[in-house]
Structure 1
């Protein structure tokens, strides 16, 4: 399995008054840097998905994947990455989760290795963490077909793939 990571940082941060959410300081460093540090050594490359005007993320990771003009939320960035990167699987995290547990990352990766054709999604109790997932690049066509219906919600795509928050043990689809 050739695993890369995509940190989603393209949001407009409206609930936080705008600005660059991932660049907010935490323990003297930008929040996103803590996440990048946790991902290093677990993935081949760390990429940041953001809008073209978000200049502060440059040089923090292995590269930037700018949102295309038709960006309509996280699925746009995920789709773009699945088509652009040279990996077999993509670990996706939002930029505002700097303290994600290394144990959780390792468990996600182990599950993806054990089930390489399946999506791996974190479930926290009864809540599905829809932006903490590992996606096989082979799911790119499924994602594009879902986006062509005009739907934009990550949860909707995951449900179309057979993943729901109906049971605490649901973590992947076949």
Structure 2
């Protein structure tokens, strides 16, 4: 077996399964880029990766009815861990480049940096948050070992991807394009993002 054989294939995963309570509308359908956010992010990931999947709740599937690669939540856990672990359950030998649907400013330069810095020997490769200097678990590459660690933590009642990262051996990157990590989770943050695009 060669070194190449040991490298988990990298695929894309757009997390759309949140309830968007603070935003008061489904964040995955907001059109910051003349298309729904889920479509923008899948198209962005497809420019780098051969296969890109959408993670969603069971009752959301109609929103993405024409998209061929859906992973409805299939595990009894909540939050973003549900999407990550549903993907891991479906393809346990896959590494996932994960993007949350609340990243309106993310672009090719951040993803290129993340992919080029991927460390297959670590549990994950993640950017440092410009807000709190902690790992960004939802704009990151999760290796199978990292997702297995997340699974064990969730089973133990520790349902937090960031805490799994903090307790794992991960590669952490400073992003020179850190503005692309901006999260829009409220109507005010949505307005801020729209303003950035002149909308």
Task: Name the CA distance, whole Å, in 2 between partners of 1:59 and 1:73.
Answer: 25
SS of 1:16's equivalent in the other structure is coil
TM-score scaled by length of structure 2 = 0.73
Q: TM-score, normalised by structure 1?
A: 0.83
> Which residue of 2 is the match for residue 158 of structure 1?
165
Q: Mind listing any 5+ residue stretches in structure 1 that lack a counterpart?
A: 164-168
For structure 2, list consecutive stretches of 5 or more residues without a partner in the other structure.
Answer: 1-6, 175-199
Aligned length: 163
Q: Which runs of 4+ in 1 moved over 4 A?
A: none
What do the CA deviations read for 1:17-52 (whole angstroms, capped 9, x no partner)? 1x4211122243112211112111311211111111
Is the 1:49–1:66 Cα contact (8 Å) retained in structure 2?
Answer: yes
Q: Deviations over 1:105-155 (max 9, x none)?
A: 01111111xx21221011143353221110112333222211111011111
Equivalent residue, structure 2, for 1:35: 41
Give the greater-gyration-radius structure (CA). 2
Larger fraction in strand: 1
Distance in 2, matches of 1:31 and 1:170, equals 26
Deviations for 1:35-80, whole angstroms, at most 9, x for unmatched residues? Answer: 11211131121111111111212223x4111112613111121112
Which residue in the other structure is 1:94 paired with? Answer: 100
